[in-house]
Structure 1
Amino acid sequence: MTAPPTSAATALSAQDVHKAYGKHVVLAGVDLTIRSGETVGVVGENGAGKSTLLRILCGDLRPDKGSVVIDGTLSHCPQHPVLNNALTPFQHLNLFQEAFRLRNLDHAHELIDRLAFADHLHRPVKVLSGGTRQKLNLVLALMHDPDVALLDEPYQGFDWQTYLAFWDLAAARRAAGRTTVVISHLAYDIDRLDSVIQLTGKVAVLTKGADR
């Protein structure tokens, strides 16, 4: 994957981000700069603070110290879907359409077609498989075509074809100049990414893309 031009604008930056839960330090001085149009992976061992970092970047969690700047619209896809079991996927789409003030659901339906779960749109979430719930979770995060998307293990529970469809989506976002940040545990994702940020020792280390 060819890296975006070095002149690309900064889409997301974080400076000296710290977070602790009591005496347990999770993040200790994380600095990040991510450019527009990049697809970036965040990796690290369990407990390294990956999900905490994404929650801070999206504003869901306040850091103990440090600052975050986002240029443009933002979306966060959490690792565990936050859905209403009594509603159908279509009803979720209608709610999010109102929240995002979208004129129509055209882009949402494009995403649904890519992820191949149109047959489940009118079934209550409570009867859906974990993989289908995760597909809905991802569509809700991307249906307003955000400038920056923060995705926490977005393909958890996907079969191989849907996993590949996800990376097609990421490539399409990149081609459109959108920025995607993905938490991943899968080593074979690396070649699909412009940069890899490894959380190690509670700080962030750029392990790929240092020549940008």
Structure 2
Amino acid sequence: MEVSDVHHAYRKRVVLRGIDLELRPGVLAGIVGENGAGKSTLLKILSGELRPDRGTVRHHGRFGYCPQTAILNDALTIRQHLDFFKTAYALTDLRRAEEVMETLRLGEYLDERAGVLSGGTRQKLNLTLALMHDPQVLLLDEPYQGFDWDTYQRFWDLAARLCGAGRSVLVVSHLAYDAERLDVLWRLDGGLLHDRTTEQAA
């Protein structure tokens, strides 16, 4: 993914002032920033949900997007969600989804309606739906929200395996959890990205 000179404002409130970003294959990257810094706006632009006022975003291959708030139909079961997205992605099988569910221990809830799931279990489904078409680039907004410690560790193991298989993963959060796991970490502040690795070294 290549991002060049991305700007965005909400009327007179400027949020992004020229974002440049390159996400290479096999890289596990993070962006941190305070609430209101523009992290979710940036992710919406990267995913194509929002058009920037200026600048370009280029994806090379499939991408997956896991928003902070799971967008699920509470009346449908997990199995029904998977079948719906299987059709939407034009997949021949659910092999990839089953692998992710096994890692996150989601399979036991297959026939539960989304409306009765806990916040952490909903997030597991949210992540599974974002990964089930095997994207080359994965964009994650606070992906471990609601996870217990075991699932949190499993999430990072999954992210590492994805990168080991040549996928690119971008995790966006308001705190730099487990920064040592990341290949690169940026801080979004004042509408610009700052390399935190460089800051910490200085």
1:93-118 deviation digits (Å, cap 9, x = unpaired): 00111111111111111111111121
Q: Which moved more, 1:200-209 or 1:74-83?
A: 200-209
1:101-138 deviation digits (Å, cap 9, x = unpaired): 11111111111111112111101111111110000000
Question: Which of 171, 174, 177 is 1:182 aligned to?
Answer: 171
Name the CA distance, whole Å, in 1 between partners of 2:195 and 2:23: 11
Name the CA distance, whole Å, in 2 between partners of 1:186 and 1:88: 32
Contact 2:35 2:174 in 1 (8 A): no
Q: Which moved more, 1:179-188 or 1:47-56?
A: 179-188
Contact 1:148 1:178 in 2 (8 A): yes
Shift of 1:50: 0.7
Contact 1:31 1:204 in 2 (8 A): yes
Distance 1:82 1:188, change over 3 A: closer
In the alignment, does 2:54 pair up with 1:65? yes
CA RMSD of aligned residues (A): 1.4
Name the CA distance, whole Å, in 2 between partners of 1:209 and 1:108: 37
Shift of 1:186: 3.7
Aligned to 2:131: 142
Name the CA distance, whole Å, in 2 between partners of 1:69 and 1:206: 21
The one-letter code matched in structure 1 to 2:135 is P
TM-score by length of 1: 0.91
* Amino-acid identity (%): 55
Name the CA distance, whole Å, in 1 between partners of 2:5 and 2:108: 46
In the alignment, does 2:200 pair up with 1:200? no
Match of 2:169, SS state, is: strand
Instruction: Give 4+ residue runs of structure 1 displaced > 6 Å after superposition.
Output: none
Name the CA distance, whole Å, in 2 between partners of 1:175 and 1:65: 34
Q: Which moved more, 1:133-142 or 1:96-105?
A: 96-105
TM-score by length of 2: 0.96
Consecutive unaligned residues in structure 1, runs of 5 or more:
1-11
In the alignment, does 2:150 pair up with 1:161? yes
Contact 2:78 2:114 in 1 (8 A): yes
Question: How many pairs does the alignment contain?
Answer: 200
Shift of 1:209: 7.2
